[in-house]
Copies of this chain bind each other. A is one copy, B any other.
Amino acid sequence: MKARRAQDTFAQTSKIVLPNDTNVLTNLMGGQLLSWMDITAGISAQRHCQRVVVTASVNNVSFNQPIKLGDVVTIEAKVSRAFTSSMEVFLDVYVDKVGGGRKKCNEAIYTFVAVDQNGSPIEVPELIPETEEEKDRYAAALRRKQLSLILAKKMDPSEATELKALFNQIPS
């Protein structure tokens, strides 16, 4: 199974925020954005493994800035790291600025699993990060996976060597 470069997993979608996507403040509803990100992230994961993928988990999505009715939203997704049968996908969300250009307004991380026709997990290729950002996110993806295993009580904290730098200053 041939490793694939991060940039080959890039997926992008641009949308206009329509009335039904908004709440009573006429801001884009969080749930609508979650659903859009899921589709774009799924396309990215599918481009990595060339198999059917299913959403496994969603972590750390923050909605920092309201997005308004009529705004042009662009969602960009790239696989940040591949594990045995799962892939972490990192998403950046932008809104077009008046006058040109765009500003970033959100980040999110989704995890997908590649499955066969019965829905059973199957192996995926490795990911090759190339740019600085791709390498940073590749490294952070391992820490996030360890933290999630610890919180799910599937890993002993002492094994999470990658997390030590973060937590070893907690006085016991």
Contacts and interface: CB of A to CB of B under 8 A. Distances in A.
A149 to B, nearest CB: 12
Interface residues on A, range: 35 or more
Taking chain A's interface residues, is the majority helix, strand, or loop, or is none over half, making it mixed?
mixed
Number of identical monomers bound together in the oligomeric complex? 6
Given A158-B169, A158-B170, A163-B170, A30 B13 contact: no
Of the candidates A19, A31, A47, the one having the most CB atoms from chain B within 10 angstroms of its own CB is A31
A37 interface: yes
Contact of A164 (B22, B56, B170): B170
A98 interface: yes
Contact of A38 (B19, B31, B98, B160): B31
A131 interface: no
B57 A63 contact: yes
Contacts of A166: 157
Given A99-B50, A167-B167, A168-B172, A30 B58 contact: yes
A45 to B, nearest CB: 11
Given A29-B42, A158-B171, 8 more contacts: A8-B100, A12-B13, A19-B20, A24-B52, A31-B36, A31-B37, A31-B38, A35-B35
Interface of A: 4, 8, 11-16, 18-20, 22-25, 27, 29-32, 34-40, 42-43, 46-47, 50, 52, 54-63, 66, 69-70, 72, 96, 98-100, 110, 115, 117, 119, 151, 157-158, 160, 163-164, 166-172
